[in-house]
Amino acid sequence: MWVKMPEMERIRIGVVGAGTIAQVEHVPNLLRLKDRFDIKGICDPSAATRGFVTERYGIAAFDTLEKLLQLPLDAVVIASPDPLHKEHVLAAFERGLHVLCEKPLCYGSADIAELIAARDVRGLVLQVGYMKRFDPNYETLLSLLPAQGGELRHITVEVSDPDAWPFIQHHDWRRSDDVPQDLIDEVASRRREQVARAVSVPLDDVAYRGFCGAYCSSIVHDVNAVHGILDCLGVEEGKIAGAQLYAGGGGGHGAVSLLGGKALWTMTHLAVPRLADYRERIAIYFDDAVFELEFPSPYLNHQPTRLSVRQSKGHSLECRDIRTSYAEAFVEELKGFAGAITEGTSVRNTAEHAARDMGLLAGLARWHATHPPQLIHQGKIS
């Protein structure tokens, strides 16, 4: 059962993991929201990173999660390596702490089910870090869709991503290389075990890298966003129609049938590591209109997503560009987390949502693994 915190009390919060996302987004944004949050500490295995964060922000830093959890806390933001998420969420729950966990929550839906059960037993908040659900123009898109009377034809997701490097050089952050090798090896081993359990069929090296990277680290954001769009339209997710992991694991493609084959959802994420340009687009095609979101790099804060609508009236084409707000999605998701804790507002990005997202991505990886391109080309499977 959820218990409201005392009126006007700030949430005492810790941060688990001090990597790029924590340094560039979570820590500065938590400090900015000082009326809602009081950062008590951060933990990370890198001594150099801990020293930098303490010097830069004046935050107490610890080398283990156990030491961080000894502080008087109400909640944590978990930004540790993906294979540690389940362990860290459960450790926080054991201390009675609310959790905002970065995506992917876990690689497998079964592991997420364990977190859901633990959450419900303790009556705690578990929010997943899908910040796009808090993007003002994404919210505006959802408000427009119910009035759309046309027939859905296609949803497409297209992302080309060089990673963070072109977009964070102006930030004050530190990448360190002093994490003990035995810890790095342990995390890698856990990832292998968790992915094998989630996908349940053997993956070659390309498919493994693609599942962990292109799928689970990247396009999972868009999968979650499209799931929100489908829910808004009252359209159920259909069967997987195809999948491919390629470009050494830097590319991931998937196709999902909608409305019994009357519509199709396609998605592609491609790493372009030497091109300082980021493109991300979600387009929804009806028989009489197109709605399109163009996202900036997530690290370019307060740069608005472009929402465009194209419709016809007779032979005339009408195009609208909509900019709702310059509010930053990373900041808004923290506000949402605070509201869920202090006021009992609905959690926008639930663990159940994450289970649905990861179930689809695991299914796409299985489709790829069981439909080798050479056998398809030879006509031996379809």
> Does the domain at residues 134-327+350-377 carry the CATH identifier 3.90.950.10?
no
- Band (8; pLDDT cuts 50, 70, 90): very low
- Would you tell me how many other CB atoms lie within 10 Å of the CB of residue 70? 12
105: which 2 tokens? 């929550």
Task: Assign 42 to helix, strand or coil.
Answer: strand
Q: How much is the pLDDT for 378?
A: 52
CA–CA gap between residue 125 and residue 43 (Å, rounded): 21
Find, among 190, 198, 138, the residue nearest to 363 by Cα.
Answer: 198
Share of the chain above pLDDT 70, in %: 95
Task: For residue 181, give every residue at least 6 positions away whose Cβ sits within 8 Å of its Cβ, in sequence order, or none.
Answer: none
User: For 312-352, what is each residue's pLDDT tens digit?
Assistant: 988 999 999 999 999 999 999 999 999 999 999 999 999 99
CA–CA gap between residue 127 and residue 36 (Å, rounded): 17
Domain boundaries, the chain: 11-131, 134-327+350-377
Task: Assign 261 to helix, strand or coil.
Answer: helix
CA–CA gap between residue 135 and residue 327 (Å, rounded): 8
User: For 358-371, what is each residue's pLDDT tens digit?
Assistant: 999 999 999 999 99
- What is the reported pTM? 0.95
Q: How much is the pLDDT for 148?
A: 78
Task: Assign 109 to helix, strand or coil.
Answer: helix
Q: How much is the pLDDT for 225?
A: 98
CA–CA gap between residue 131 and residue 333 (Å, rounded): 6
Rounded average pLDDT over 165-189: 95
Q: What is the SS3 assignment for 357-379?
A: HHHHHHHHHHHHHHCCHHHHHCC
300: which 2 tokens? 């370019």
Find, among 205, 149, 176, the residue nearest to 50 by Cα.
Answer: 176
64: which 2 tokens? 């283990």
**CATH number for the domain formed by residue range(s) 11-131:** 3.40.50.720
User: For 32-75, what is each residue's pLDDT tens digit?
Assistant: 999 999 999 999 999 999 999 999 999 999 999 999 999 999 99
Q: How much is the pLDDT for 172?
A: 92
User: For 248-273, what is each residue's pLDDT tens digit?
Assistant: 999 999 999 999 999 999 999 999 99
